Each structure stands twice: as structure tokens, then as C-alpha cells.
Homo-oligomer: A and B are copies of this chain.
Amino acid sequence: MKRSQLLSQTSKQDPADAQSVSHRLLLRGDFIDQLASGVYSLLPLGWRVYQKVEDIIRDEMNAIGGQELILPSLQPQSIWEESGRWGEMDPPLFKVKDRHDKQLALGPTHEEVITSIVRTRISSYKQLPLALYQIQNKFRNEVRATGGLLRTREFVMKDLYSFHDSKESLQKFYDKVKKAYQNIFKRMGLKIVWVQAASGTIGGKISHEAMVLSSEGEDEVLLCPKCGFAANVEKQDSSKCPECGEKLEVKNAIEAGHVFQLGIKYSEKMKATYTDKNGEQHPLIMGCYGLGLQRTMATIIEEWHDDKGMIWPLSVAPYQIALIGIGDDKKIKTTTSDIYKELLQKGYEVVWYDQEEKSVGEKFADADLLGFPYRLVISNKTLQKDSVEVKIRKTDQTKLVKKEQLISYIENEFSKF
């Protein structure tokens, strides 16, 4: 992609109303555009990151046997009445009337819908366990949306639902999902801590949040330095560890995921049952597992940035390589153009800073702000040594690489990830 064609109007100024680092950098880098309070478009750069985040999540959900589907946003009042959550959700449901004066909710979560699908399709224990997931838009009628992509009124969530014939089967799958989440976040450069959590209006007795410790986090978690106990303050308010009595440490954190052992909360009310080996009917035992995609993007930035801008891990970078030629010499232009074409042809994602009206300093600052993992510079100085300068954004290290070794150097660098 030529930088001159890429829709991204970056800014040197910090926006006035940005409350968090990620919000500030997403706006400065033109990754997002705010349409209303808590409602954002993902512009081309933001969308590219989003897609990579989505791919990683999908990959790990498929690896644990999840079957993907997609459920509607428009949900009839009747199924919310069945579960008893029509008037109970917090934040309250967005409600809309159709032309027959019927009320519909905009789905903030999909326990009701998935249960309504499964109850007509699962009859026997032989069909269990079953895991279904979607990566789908959610609507939450928040009073206050803050922090850019950290808390919004419209966002995409991966929500996985599992169905079991025993608590043991649920526990086993629950642990499997937690491991999958660890893989997901690790692949995106994030380290998570699992903490005991309150279940809220989703329900169930046991639930855990995947927390990324961060000073920007809205959540507070209590950690035991001795035995490893960890809980959200919402769940655990005493100041002593309930496991070993040690004094608990308080840390700010961003909730990156939330998993729930729902038990039979929905299946009992909505009559979703299976027949066991002895021909007896029981309500399905359920789990559900959420992960917000835009929030994950923001969390990566909270973790990976410096005073120059974002520092994208290679796995989720909007583009992998920034390419900058310095000077008007024909040789520099030809070499840069040749390298651009060769990288594209090899399948690399490159932004070529081709704008004639911009200074070298502006280009460097722009590439740093946007956080591309590698920067290649071609100049008279590098060409005198038949080389290209490679800068690694994360370490700020630069290195001269011989032109003819450039592709194999990059192949080798990328293979480390």
C-alpha cells in the first residue's frame, strides 16, 4: 500500500478528549473514527488489526472443537421473557419496535438465542459435549462510554457457548477454554492473569476474568503474593487472602475476557434438555465464554506503546513493514520501488512512504506512530554499502542488511514469531 493512498490522516497533536493511551493513539493514528458516544468506525488501519485479532481467536476456537455460526442482533422480546432477563439486564437492553409494534432487543449477549437453537437440536447425551461460537456485533446501552475502544456501546465479541451432561465435562471444557484464551493473548503479545469474578446478569456461580494488569485498567484485582489467589474486587472484598491469610495486593487491570459456568440457569427456564443413558431428561449444563475484539485491540496498545506511538506485535500489526526512500536520486527511487514490489510479491504487508511533499522526519514519525514492526530505509548512505537500513520498532535497534540478503533476513526475522 502506498502511504499516499492509505486512508489514514495522522495527527501530531493529542486529541483533547482522549482518556487513555490507546484512545489517544488510536485517534492520532486514525485507526478509528467516533460517530457517537461509544460508537466507533474502524478505519482501514484499525480494521486490518481487527481482522488479525479475529483470525487468531477463530484459530484457537476451532482448535478446541468450536463450531462457528452467527446469531442475529435483533432478538424477540419473548425469548428474553423466557429467561427472565427482559427487564433485568445491566446495562438495560437497547429496545426497538418494529412495524407490527413488536419489541425487539439488540443483543448484548446471546445465551437466550443459542439456547433456543440447541433445545430443538440436542436430545441425547450422545451429542454432548457441544461447543458453538460466533464472532458478532454486540450492543450495550451504557450510560457512560469511556476510554475509546475500552468501553463502547457497539462492539464485536467472540462468544462461545458449551453444552454438557455433567459438571465434570463442563469443568474440563472450561479449563480448555482458559488455556485457549492464554494462547490467544500470548499470540497477541499480552499476558493475562485469571481472577475469580462476579457473574452479574449473565449468571452462574463460577466465573473468571482474564485480566491484563495495566495502570489504565478500570477494574481492580486483588492478588495474593504468597499462594497465587486472584479475584476481582467485585467478587472479593476482604483484605486478606481467603486461601492463606496473606495480605492481598491491589492492582488495576483491563478485563480482556470473561468465562462463566452457567450451569442450568438458561436450560432450565428455557427447557433445553438432553436424555441420559437411562432415558431420563435433564437440563443441559452450560458454559459461556466472552472476549471483546475492539477492547483487545486497545489493550494491546495499552501494553505496547512508547512516547512515539504504537508498537504492534508482528501478529496483529496493520502492516508489517514501513518502507522509506530518502533522496531524489533515480537509483534510490528505483531501488525502493523494486524492494516494494518484491516484498509485495513475496506476500509481505508493506506501506511505502511515497509522498513527495513530506519530509523524512515526518515519515519517520508517522511510521513510529503507526507502530509498524519493521522500518526499511534506503538512502545514498545505505546504497554506498549496497545495503538497506532495518529498524525494529520494538527495540529501536537499527542494522544494515545487504540488499541481496534483505528477503532472507526478513523471512528469518518473521519466522521467529
Q: Are A70 and B98 in contact (CB under 8 A)?
A: no
Partner of A113, one of B35, B75, B94, B132: B35
A227 at the interface (CB under 8 A from B): no
A365 at the interface (CB under 8 A from B): no
In the complex the two chains form, what is the Cα distance from A173 to B92 in whole Å? 45
Interface size, chain A (Cβ < 8 Å)? 57
Given A36-B104, A76-B35, A70-B41 contact (CB < 8 Å): yes
CB under 8 Å from chain B, chain A span 40-74 = 40-44, 46-48, 50, 65, 67-74
Q: Are A50 and B70 in contact (CB under 8 A)?
A: yes
Q: Are A70 and B96 in contact (CB under 8 A)?
A: no
Given A36-B76, A117-B41, A96-B92 contact (CB < 8 Å): no
* A142 / chain B contacts, CB cutoff of 8 Å: 99
Kindly provide the distance from the CB of A117 to the nearest chain B CB, expressed in whole angstroms: 5
Q: Are B117 and A72 in contact (CB under 8 A)?
A: no
Q: Are B98 and A96 in contact (CB under 8 A)?
A: no
* A65 / chain B contacts, CB cutoff of 8 Å: 5
CB under 8 Å from chain B, chain A span 319-361 = none
Kindly provide the distance from the CB of A94 to the nearest chain B CB, expressed in whole angstroms: 5
Residue contacts A-B, CB under 8 angstroms, 10 given: A4-B126, A6-B67, A7-B132, A30-B121, A43-B69, A47-B68, A47-B69, A72-B154, A94-B96, A106-B106
Chain A contact residues, CB within 8 Å of chain B: 4-7, 9, 30, 33, 35-36, 39-44, 46-48, 50, 65, 67-76, 79, 91-92, 94-96, 98-100, 102, 104, 106, 113, 116-117, 120-121, 126, 130, 132, 137, 139, 141-143, 153-154
